[in-house]
Structure 1
Amino acid sequence: MFDLSGQPWIGQYPASVPPTYDYPHHHLAKFLEDSAARHGDHPALYFMGRTVTYRSLLESARRFANGLLGLGVRKGDRVAVMLPNCPQAVIAYYGTLLIGGVVVMTNPLYMPRELEYQLNDADAKLIVTLDLLCERVQGVMPATGLGHLVVTSLADYLPFPKNVLYGLKLRKDGQKPDIVYGERVLSFSRLLKTSSPEAVDVQVDAGSDLALIQYTGGTTGRPKGVMLTHLNLVANTIQSRLWAYRTKEAQEKYLAALPFFHVFGMTVLMNQSVYLAGTLLLIPRFRVEDVLKTIHKCRPTVFPGAPTMYISLINHPDIRRYDLSSIEFCISGAAPLPHEVQERFESLTGGKLIEGYGLTEASPVTHANNIWEARKLGSIGIPFPDTEARIVDPQSGEEVPQGQIGELVVRGPQVMAGYWKRPDETAKVLKDGWLSTGDMARMDEDGYFFILDRRKDLIIAGGYNIYPREVEEVLFEHPDVEEAVVAGVSDPYRGETVKAFIVLKQGAAADEESLKRWCKERLAVYKVPKIFEFRESFPKTMVGKVLRRRLIEEGQEPPGKDKDQGA
């Protein structure tokens, strides 16, 4: 790897964490094979009362892999997985990897236009999704290259009588989907039953073969597919394990409330737990009551999450009724962690809550605070083993003196291979292995890093990346909208929330509710603006470019203030 001996953060490493490690160049799915070999009868998954052992999970993944081969899916082909946290998501993920396929994790909240774009951009051959989402996916199939749609239901892995009651409730609520199976629309459970459980022997080059194309919201243009190799994800999983050095094989329980379709949840939960033969307590949808009950009953030891999750828990009126003492540590990511949230959560649980940092392009984790040793509040911590980090001048790329502000750039075995089908975009952010993060930061004398601002206008709301241009394009399509600017504004719960500034066409009558409905039909719910401000005009440069920052600042000024006076 790299010579890190002179870096100030090395002195902050716990004695049990090695600064460097020899990462195995093997198939990502070997984590599952190894854990099943050593701990076959140990619970791998717990889903609403049903337990799946490692032996059973591996058999199901092999059946799915052989099912894919029977459908003509081969090494390098892309398979989309559009599922919440449920056993089928884990089976499809590792089953795809076993044949050398490339997983494309797809957000179940995506609306047709978003889904169609991603499936076409990735050239996905097959998608796995829920029966409740089947109609949406079938609607875009003619416009994509999808050959097959594999459909499952949450009821498939619920224990009796929950599986029966689930179906009855859907029918009562008029939500029971009427699915017509055929040559291209297949049943997930039937595919597993009719496929071989034999091992699949597909060799991969861990350093160059892709395991995942993970789409990330940029700040301009459409989402880009981040190409992550088997080695990228193997390395980041092991780096995370080295950092949490007190975790014990086949003894940890991971509260899986972060969605696996988010790269943070995929690495620090799914891959991490499987690597360590832990038990994943699957939460298909984050509801505060459900999470509190799961912690109280199932006694998880590790709970990675986003700040909004911890905020929800500590502000629950009945928090004292639940025993949260099993939690030993939590790593918070995806958004800044407020100091008061960190302190209150630790006092309630007795466990540790630390802030980390990463980005999809780095699999995703690059920095974290020490879990059990000294840490610095407000800091993202120090770089992971084998991870280099520098603060550079955004224009020249030259490293700035310690303590000064610049752009954070990182290098390590977890850094992506590049953007899918976008060599020009790759060249902009990857230079000699160094990844430009786009975040402004500083490093102190001890090697701790502090994020100060984003160079661009990415909105992070509740852990989700939202880029303004996509939302603006939807608003511009509305017949009453003349101009639209979207920006992130501070929100005590979500970190940021989406605000839309609107200039209506002359004589138009659109209001906030009609524009929200318009957006909800075309965007995932977390991208829909929560706040609308209608204006007669926008502040602009001489060439007509909207001054976004000034617009946001004006939108935050108290009502009635004379903007021209500036007082």
Structure 2
Amino acid sequence: MQPGDRPWLRKYPLQVLPSYEYPKINVARMLIDSARNYPDNEAVDFLGRSITYKELLRQCRKMADALRALPIARGDRVAIMLPNCPQGVIAYYGALMAGAVVVQTNPTYTERELRYQLTDSGATVLIVLDLLMPRVLKAKENNTVLKTVIVTSLSDALPFPKNALYPLKRRREYPGLRVEIRSSEGIFRWSSWLRKGKATDTCEEVDADADVAMIQYTGGTTGHPKGVMLTHANLVANTIQTTAWFYRLEIGKERYLAALPLFHVFGLTVLMNQAVYRAGSLLLVPRFEPKLVLDTVRRRKPTLFPGAPTMYIALLNDSSAREGDLDSIRFCISGAAPLPRDVQEKFEKKSGGRLIEGYGLTEAAPVTHCNPIWGYRKNGTIGIPLPDTDARIVGEDSVEQLPVGQIGELAVRGPQVMKGYWNRPEETAGVLQDGWLRTGDLGTMDDEGYFSIIDRKKDIILAGGFNVYPREIEEVLFEHPAVKEASVLGVPDPYRGETVKAYVVVKEGWQVSEMQLDRWCRDRLASYKVPKQYEFRSSLPLSLIGKVLRRKLREEQNSEEEVNLNIT
């Protein structure tokens, strides 16, 4: 096979073209178009409250107008720290209509993590859930850039009588929580804030290839998370690419089960943007809980369910699941972590739909590969590149293609590949080479163009679909007065794919328990980053220059797993 050949095109279904046109528009134009063509279609369902496209567009326009009045100008950053709820959808498209750059922020972030992201992005506005305000107020201290905080509650989006009962539930679960709205300090309540805006028919014109639509934070082993700059063109292209792959979708008729968080780029593209682009109904679930998801499934009968392997595992094992619950689901795309074949087969048998595995990364908005849904799929692979996407396996020193079957680093290029890292030109140059994005994942390609991921080149831990960065956790452990040395690895976990294990050396004369370290980390890290296993050691393997050799730890861990496997 010669460089430039695309053997995977021979495996494309007849209904999928190798190339498409991608309009150079503001991402919010997709909502405007759907609202014009399908005004009375349901756009969002949230625990029984339904919002039409006409009403969603009106709310987004009011949000955009209220932001402009601050003023928010083209290119200013607006951070959104919300679970899956209508306010998150309104804030996202409203900010884009105003020409702002969206910064999606994980609601589980601690004060420390939030402060870093707000400072690094330079966000001047934060839209946040009331339950998170104690963290926000602490993170806001000494931040001279963040000027405006808009506070909302889940009750703002709930139907009657749930909206009336929710404050009672909140007081019961969070007895010490009081949210003080002080407009003099730039803190406003959602409902009164939105009333300030007018539903004007205005959407900021953008240079789609150059203008950044969102900064999505990801990371690595070199330090703090990096802000990935995704342009309007990147997000529109990946929405159209994934929609083309799901070619049996019927415009205006599909129901998307949104259990994936929309602040994660996977959920943002294959759920929110795709549902809006196809005038589908977005069935929002504020957090993934099997009972809540199953209640939504029974009530609304979703047809699509993009998710992570942990979600499918949880639903398969939930004792409350009944025969026929999942029958409405026609297909699912699994991403964010490897999909076990056993899970795939069991879920397909239970639902009658198709569950296929794909691949992506934040730097590609995110999807680059997918197995054909109704065509020839290869279990254990990530499938083949999407339309207009090139992929190859490359070596360390160049982006020249390696021979078929040889292990190397996966590199991709296409219209969905990021502009670069926010304020990090050197790191951008390290991964974007001659138009190719080096993914950091090691893999192979077979003679039919199907790709397999062998291992991650970097030490990122993929726990339940979220990237976990060892150095960040190690820094928190090092801050504990009893810890002398610490190193963190990802170890196999049947539910989360990987989980975090910490190797700790305690200072002489000190004592510390696993429970104490767990409490220490939970106060400083999001829950999915907190180590689930600890191993106390007298020393760690070090290189000649004193660097911890994670490779040695990993080899020892693998040996332990093999011994345990042989014993059982």
Q: Report the TM-score range of the alignment, normalised by the length of the smaller protein.
A: over 0.9
Q: Determine the structure 2 residue equivalent to 1:196.
A: 198
Partner Cα separation in structure 2 for residue 243 and residue 55 of structure 1: 28
Question: Which range is displaced more, 181-190 or 462-471?
Answer: 181-190
Q: How does the TM-score come out when normalised to structure 2?
A: 0.96
Q: By how many angstroms is 1:556 displaced? A: 4.8
Partner Cα separation in structure 2 for residue 330 and residue 559 of structure 1: 32
For the Cα contact (< 8 Å) 1:181–1:187, is it kept in 2? no
Structure 1's unaligned 5+ residue stretches are 562-567
3-state DSSP class of the match of 1:133?
helix
Alignment of 1:145-544 (within 5 A): 145-173=145-173, 174=175, 176-183=177-184, 184-544=186-546
Partner Cα separation in structure 1 for residue 374 and residue 362 of structure 2: 26
For the Cα contact (< 8 Å) 2:26–2:204, is it kept in 1? no
Residue type matched to 1:73 in 2? I
Q: By how many angstroms is 1:176 displaced? A: 4.6
Q: Determine the structure 1 residue equivalent to 2:550.
A: 548
Q: Determine the structure 1 residue equivalent to 2:110.
A: 111
Structure 2's unaligned 5+ residue stretches are 564-568
Q: Determine the structure 1 residue equivalent to 2:31.
A: 32
Q: By how many angstroms is 1:135 displaced? A: 1.8
Structure 1 pair 310/455, CA: closer, same or farther in 2 (3 Å)?
same
3-state DSSP class of the match of 1:442?
strand
- 1:29-64 alpha-carbon deviations (Å, 9 max, x no partner): 000000000111111000011001101100000000
Q: By how many angstroms is 1:202 displaced? A: 1.8
Q: Determine the structure 2 residue equivalent to 1:57.
A: 56
For the Cα contact (< 8 Å) 2:181–2:189, is it kept in 1? no
Partner Cα separation in structure 1 for residue 255 and residue 385 of structure 2: 26
For the Cα contact (< 8 Å) 2:245–2:386, is it kept in 1? yes
Residue type matched to 2:134 in 1? E
3-state DSSP class of the match of 1:124?
coil
Residue type matched to 2:146 in 1? L
Q: Determine the structure 2 residue equivalent to 1:47.
A: 46
Residue type matched to 2:100 in 1? G
Q: Determine the structure 1 residue equivalent to 2:566.
A: none
For the Cα contact (< 8 Å) 2:333–2:357, is it kept in 1? yes
For the Cα contact (< 8 Å) 2:291–2:320, is it kept in 1? no
For the Cα contact (< 8 Å) 2:230–2:365, is it kept in 1? yes
Question: Which range is displaced more, 61-70 or 213-222?
Answer: 213-222
Q: By how many angstroms is 1:419 displaced? A: 0.3
- 1:429-458 alpha-carbon deviations (Å, 9 max, x no partner): 001210000111110011000000111110
Partner Cα separation in structure 2 for residue 121 and residue 532 of structure 1: 32
Identity %: 58
Partner Cα separation in structure 2 for residue 240 and residue 175 of structure 1: 45
Partner Cα separation in structure 2 for residue 235 and residue 556 of structure 1: 41
Question: Which range is displaced more, 536-545 or 173-182?
Answer: 173-182
3-state DSSP class of the match of 2:132?
helix
Q: By how many angstroms is 1:320 displaced? A: 3.1
Partner Cα separation in structure 1 for residue 401 and residue 557 of structure 2: 36
Q: Determine the structure 1 residue equivalent to 2:98.
A: 99
- May I ask how many residue pairs the two structures share in their alignment? 559
Partner Cα separation in structure 2 for residue 559 and residue 240 of structure 1: 38
Structure 1 pair 508/559, CA: closer, same or farther in 2 (3 Å)?
farther
Q: Determine the structure 2 residue equivalent to 1:565.
A: none
Structure 1 pair 322/193, CA: closer, same or farther in 2 (3 Å)?
farther
For the Cα contact (< 8 Å) 2:324–2:351, is it kept in 1? no
3-state DSSP class of the match of 1:345?
helix
Partner Cα separation in structure 2 for residue 425 and residue 543 of structure 1: 24
Partner Cα separation in structure 1 for residue 52 and residue 146 of structure 2: 32
- 1:327-368 alpha-carbon deviations (Å, 9 max, x no partner): 000000000000000000000000000000000000000000
- 1:135-185 alpha-carbon deviations (Å, 9 max, x no partner): 211112132210100000000010111011111112233155332331300
The RMSD of aligned alpha carbons is: 1.5
Partner Cα separation in structure 1 for residue 327 and residue 456 of structure 2: 36
Q: Determine the structure 2 residue equivalent to 1:69.
A: 68
Question: Which range is displaced more, 287-296 or 119-128?
Answer: 287-296
For the Cα contact (< 8 Å) 1:482–1:503, is it kept in 2? yes
Residue type matched to 1:153 in 2? S
Alignment of 1:3-22 (within 5 A): 6-22=5-21
Partner Cα separation in structure 2 for residue 558 and residue 42 of structure 1: 56
3-state DSSP class of the match of 2:124?
strand
Partner Cα separation in structure 2 for residue 464 and residue 178 of structure 1: 30
3-state DSSP class of the match of 1:450?
strand
Partner Cα separation in structure 2 for residue 179 and residue 407 of structure 1: 51
Q: By how many angstroms is 1:317 displaced? A: 2.3
Q: By how many angstroms is 1:395 displaced? A: 3.0
3-state DSSP class of the match of 1:319?
coil
- 1:250-292 alpha-carbon deviations (Å, 9 max, x no partner): 1000000000100000000000000000000001110011111
For the Cα contact (< 8 Å) 2:445–2:452, is it kept in 1? yes
Partner Cα separation in structure 1 for residue 268 and residue 440 of structure 2: 23
For the Cα contact (< 8 Å) 2:101–2:215, is it kept in 1? yes
For the Cα contact (< 8 Å) 1:471–1:528, is it kept in 2? yes
Partner Cα separation in structure 2 for residue 427 and residue 191 of structure 1: 41
Q: By how many angstroms is 1:321 displaced? A: 4.2
3-state DSSP class of the match of 1:389?
strand
- 1:453-499 alpha-carbon deviations (Å, 9 max, x no partner): 11111000000001100000000000000000011000000000000
